């Protein structure tokens, strides 16, 4: 029989998980829901749920990272949010551009029209494709992590992301009347 | 992947930047987690007194002692941070709300199955 971890150790490990992934869960929630107020609630509920089931999740994770599990909790809560309130994202992520970018690899963005068109396009994608792109780009998750979070195979996830990017590119091109011009943003 | 594909993905990454959670949320959540731990310990302690007569339950009080001895330290880092935030921002309303949430979560967490 597997021996349970001491409570203090579990709490310490949960604290580490919380500190490491608060921004991930919040980013996911924000892009999924579309407004900061509900994203805060969703983030809070996600971590409270995660705390309740942390020991079991650790046991079953077999040492793998728990971020996909956290995002899956947020995903399920977001699904309940839409089901309960019968609503879709309302703000079309329009104020995402003014949120300070925490990554120092991200520079202050120029060409804001391009970015707004992309965010509008993301909003028009089917749910699974939109989620995959949020995980890929906002959370920098790799294909395997995304696959675990979405309950799909690695191969199916790779195809999903590829199609999502293609569809987004088409939407943006149609919306803007021309392909999005790339400006070199790398330092 | 072509060069233009890669360019588009760079642009998507710029659009979908990580969003920093508001400090208020971090403080509220940290309070909730600390309260959750402490309240779980309190409830276990109450449960312990009522259940000691039944030998089938003697394993549980041992767990309660462990929890009681460690709950104050396990989330200490979060507690210190959350107190600093509470002092500086006066988030009494938010703390009250999460304390209620935490109490509910704690009740579920420690209720005998």
What residues of chain B lie within 8 A of the CB of A24, using their CB?
A: 18
Which ipTM score applies to this complex? 0.77
Give dist(CA A135, CA A115) in Å, integer. Answer: 17
| pLDDT score of A103 | 35
Higher-pLDDT residue of A178 and A176 is A176
Beta carbons of B17 and A99 less than 8 Å apart: yes
Residues A89 and A78 sit within 8 Å (Cβ to Cβ): no
| pLDDT score of A72 | 96
Residue B12 at interface with chain A, using a CB cutoff of 8 Å: yes
Residues B19 and A106 sit within 8 Å (Cβ to Cβ): no
Angle at A102 between CA A45 and CA A74, to 5 degrees: 20
Beta carbons of B9 and A31 less than 8 Å apart: no
Give dist(CA A64, CA A52) in Å, integer. Answer: 19
Give dist(CA A118, CA A100) in Å, integer. Answer: 18
Residues B104 and B32 sit within 8 Å (Cβ to Cβ): no
Specify the DSSP class assigned to residue A9: H
Give the distance from residue B19's alpha carbon to the nearest chain A alpha carbon, in angstroms. Answer: 5
Beta carbons of A52 and B70 less than 8 Å apart: no
Confidence band for A140, pLDDT divided at 50, 70 and 90: very high
What residues of chain A lie within 8 A of the CB of B21, using their CB?
A: 22-23, 26, 40, 43
What residues of chain B lie within 8 A of the CB of A26, using their CB?
A: 19-21, 25
Nearest residue on chain A to B74, alpha-carbon basis: A8
Beta carbons of A15 and B78 less than 8 Å apart: yes
Does residue A97 have a pLDDT over 50?
A: no
Domains and CATH numbers, chain A: 1-91 (1.10.1740), 95-180 (1.10.10.10)
Half-sphere exposure in the Cβ direction for A152 (13 Å, CA): 17
Does residue A23 have a pLDDT over 70?
A: yes
Beta carbons of A15 and B77 less than 8 Å apart: yes
Segments making up each domain of chain B, as ranges: 23-110
Confidence band for A160, pLDDT divided at 50, 70 and 90: very high
Beta carbons of A7 and B74 less than 8 Å apart: yes
Mutate to test the interface with B, among A24, A51, A53, A133 (most CBs of B within 10 A): A51
Best CA proximity match to B24, nearest among B75, B101, B86 = B86
Digit-coded pLDDT (tens) for A56-68: 999 998 889 999 9
Residue B82 at interface with chain A, using a CB cutoff of 8 Å: no
Does residue A161 have a pLDDT over 70?
A: yes
Digit-coded pLDDT (tens) for B37-95: 776 666 655 655 554 455 455 444 444 444 444 444 446 556 555 555 555 444 344 44
Digit-coded pLDDT (tens) for B9-26: 999 999 999 999 998 888
Specify the DSSP class assigned to residue B72: H
Beta carbons of B74 and A101 less than 8 Å apart: no
Mean pLDDT of A141-155: 96
Is residue A79 left, alpha or beta, with left meaning phi > 0 and alpha meaning psi from -120 to 50? alpha
| pLDDT score of B84 | 56
Of B20, B71, B101, the CB nearest to A100: B20
């Amino acid at each position: 029989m597997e021996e349970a971890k001491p409570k203090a150790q579990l709490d310490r490990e949960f604290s580490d998980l919380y500190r490491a992934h608060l921004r991930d869960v919040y980013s996911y929630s924000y892009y999924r829901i579309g407004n900061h107020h509900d994203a805060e609630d969703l983030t809070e509920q996600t971590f409270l749920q995660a705390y309740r089931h942390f020991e079991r999740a650790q046991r079953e994770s077999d040492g793998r990272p728990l971020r996909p599990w956290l995002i899956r909790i947020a995903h399920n809560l977001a699904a309940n949010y839409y089901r309960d309130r019968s609503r879709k994202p309302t703000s079309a992520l329009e104020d995402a551009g003014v949120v300070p970018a925490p990554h120092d690899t991200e520079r202050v963005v120029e060409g804001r029209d391009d970015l707004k068109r992309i965010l509008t396009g993301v909003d028009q994608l089917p749910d699974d494709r939109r989620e995959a792109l949020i995980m890929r780009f906002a959370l920098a998750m790799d294909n395997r992590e995304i696959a675990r979070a979405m309950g799909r195979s690695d191969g199916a996830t790779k195809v999903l992301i590829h199609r999502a990017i293609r569809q987004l590119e088409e939407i943006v091109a149609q919306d803007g009347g021309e392909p999005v011009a790339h400006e070199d943003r790398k330092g | 992947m072509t060069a233009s594909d890669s360019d588009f993905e760079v642009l998507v990454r710029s659009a979908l930047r990580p969003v920093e959670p508001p400090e208020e949320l971090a403080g509220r959540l940290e309070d909730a987690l600390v309260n959750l731990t402490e309240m779980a310990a309190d409830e276990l302690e109450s449960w312990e007194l009522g259940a000691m007569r039944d030998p089938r339950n003697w394993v549980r009080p041992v767990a309660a002692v462990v929890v009681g001895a460690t709950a104050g330290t396990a989330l200490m880092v979060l507690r210190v941070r959350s107190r600093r935030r509470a002092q500086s921002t006066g988030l009494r309303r938010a703390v009250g709300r999460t304390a209620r949430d935490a109490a509910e979560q704690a009740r579920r967490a420690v209720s005998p199955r």
